[in-house]
Amino acid sequence: MRILLGLSLLAVCAFLLVSLFRNYVGAPESSTVDALLSAEADFALKRLSYTETQGQQRQWTLEAVNAKYDNDSETARLEDVSLTLFRSDAQGGDLMLSSQSGQFDRSSKLVELQGDVRILQHGTGYLLQTDRLLYDAETRVVYNEQPVQFEAGKLKARGVGLRFDYIQSRLLLQDKVEAVFTVD
C-alpha cells in the first residue's frame, strides 16, 4: 500500500512539474499589459476606441492597437493609430487618417499622428501623405508644417505645411507648392 501511495504521489508531482514547465516555456516573457506599462503610464490599453459626440452626432473616433495613458498629463501615447472624422452633411465623405504612432491630449482634444501618416477621404479617393500631422478637435482643423503629398485623380501636388478646415472642406498647402494636372 505504501508503494502504491508513493507512486501516486510521484505521478502527481511529475504531472504538476510537466504542467508548470509547459506553461513557463509557452508563456511570453512578460504579459502584454506589463510590456505596455512604463514608469510614466498609469494604465495601458489594448485596442483603444474613443468616440467624441456632439448631441447624437458622432464627430470623430480615435482607435489604436496599443495605448499608454498618463492621468497627470491627461495624454495617451498610441501605436498603430486610426482617426475617423465624420461628416454630418453631404459635402464629401468621412475622412480617415492613419499613422504608425501618435498622442492624444484629452484636455486640449489635440491628436498628433506620426510616422507614415495617410489621409483618405471616403468616396473620393483623395489621398494625402506626410510624416506628422495634428488634429484640433475643437476647431476641426488638420494641420502641419512638414512636407505633404496630395493626390486627387489626375491632380498631384506637394508642398510644405498644410491646413485643412474640415467644416469648410478647404485644404491649403502653405509653402513650396508644386502641382501637376495630367490631361488624357
- The pLDDT tens digits for 71-120 are 888 899 999 999 999 887 656 678 899 999 999 999 999 999 999 999 98
What the block records as the C-alpha cell of 102 is 501618435
pLDDT at residue 113, rounded to an integer: 96
pLDDT at residue 42, rounded to an integer: 74
pLDDT at residue 41, rounded to an integer: 65
Residue 132 CA: distances (Å) to CA of 4, 155, 158:
71, 22, 15
**Residue spans of the chain under pLDDT 50:** 1-2, 4-39
* Cβ atoms within 10 Å of 179's Cβ, excluding its own: 11
Average pLDDT over the chain, rounded to whole?
79
The Cα 112–Cα 102 span in angstroms is: 5
pTM confidence score: 0.73
Query: Is residue 135 classed exposed, middle or buried when 0-12, 13-18 and 19+ CB atoms within 10 A define those classes?
Result: buried
What the block records as the C-alpha cell of 144 is 502641419
Query: Hey, is 11 helix, strand or coil?
Result: helix
